[in-house]
Amino acid sequence: MIDFHTHSIFSDGELIPSELVRRAFVRGYLAIAITDHADASNLDFIIPRLVRVCNQITRFSNIIALPGVELTHNPPELISELAREARGLGAKVILVHGETRVEPVPPGTNRAACGSDIDILAHPGIIGIEEAKMAAERDIYLELSGRAGHSFTNGHVARIATEVGARLVFNTDAHSPHDLMGDDMARDLILGSGLSQAQTIEVIKNSERLLKKITGRG
């Protein structure tokens, strides 16, 4: 399992980074990104600490831990600027908290994200064709979510991404150890979005491709 979307106590997760990564390893994970919620108030606090602990964990463990961030509920006009700042602080994986149907995310977030230097648009809700095309052109991955609520629109996201050729990636959006999942459950949830067996395999391979892009290995 490769999971690019999880949370620690640096935002609304339950575990410190080291325990989160350890529990992921026991679940069979190859790699995990810790992507805590951030805006301009905490970006420069969270990322350097995640960089430090992820480097230590990766050095002394048999799992790749990646420092990341999820830019959350920010005004769309600030997303590009915050993404640049996050990258400069050392974030290896940058997500934007997309327009999920279960939260009042500012309209225009998906479009702003797809025009920014990010890696993944998380749970993008009822994403439009134009935004999905932008993601495809910029090699931004659209997320199929394993989190209750956010996952309600997985079928729509899968259909639109397939239509325009945007790449999909599956993540758990784990906030507790119980949210982490193995390969079999992840595969079933991808299939449940309406994709075929072959398309499901491609989504799993996308995680491997993104990991290789970020780290040079996968």
pLDDT, tens digit, 9 for 90 and up, residues 124-163:
999 999 999 999 999 999 999 999 999 999 999 999 999 9
Residue whose token pair is 């050095």: 59
Q: Is the pLDDT of residue 218 over 60?
A: no
Tell me what the mean pLDDT of segment 178-203 comes to.
Answer: 98
What's the rounded Cα separation, in Å, for the pair 148 and 145? 8
Tell me what the mean pLDDT of segment 62-72 comes to.
Answer: 98
Q: Is the pLDDT of residue 184 over 80?
A: yes
Tell me what the mean pLDDT of segment 61-81 comes to.
Answer: 98
What's the pLDDT score for residue 216?
A: 85
Report residue 10's pLDDT band, with 50, 70 and 90 as the boundaries: very high
User: How many angstroms separate the Cα of 167 from the Cα of each of 63, 87, 143?
Assistant: 25, 21, 9
Residue whose token pair is 């797809």: 114
Which domains are delineated in the chain?
2-215 (3.20.20.140)
Residue whose token pair is 């079999």: 184
Tell me what the mean pLDDT of segment 85-100 comes to.
Answer: 98
Residue whose token pair is 């090699």: 139
* Type and span of the H or E element at 135: helix 129-137
Asked if 191 and 197 touch (Cβ cutoff 8 Å), the reply is: yes
Neighbours of 4 (CB within 10 A): 29
Residue type present at position 101:
R
**Rounded to 5 degrees, what are φ and ψ at 19?**
-70, -40
What's the pLDDT score for residue 188?
A: 98
Asked if 99 and 126 touch (Cβ cutoff 8 Å), the reply is: yes
Q: Is the pLDDT of residue 89 over 70?
A: yes
pTM: predicted TM-score of the whole model, two decimal places: 0.97
Tell me what the mean pLDDT of segment 69-86 comes to.
Answer: 98
- Mean pLDDT rounded to a whole number for the chain: 97
Report residue 217's pLDDT band, with 50, 70 and 90 as the boundaries: low
Tell me what the mean pLDDT of segment 78-98 comes to.
Answer: 98
What's the pLDDT score for residue 55?
A: 98
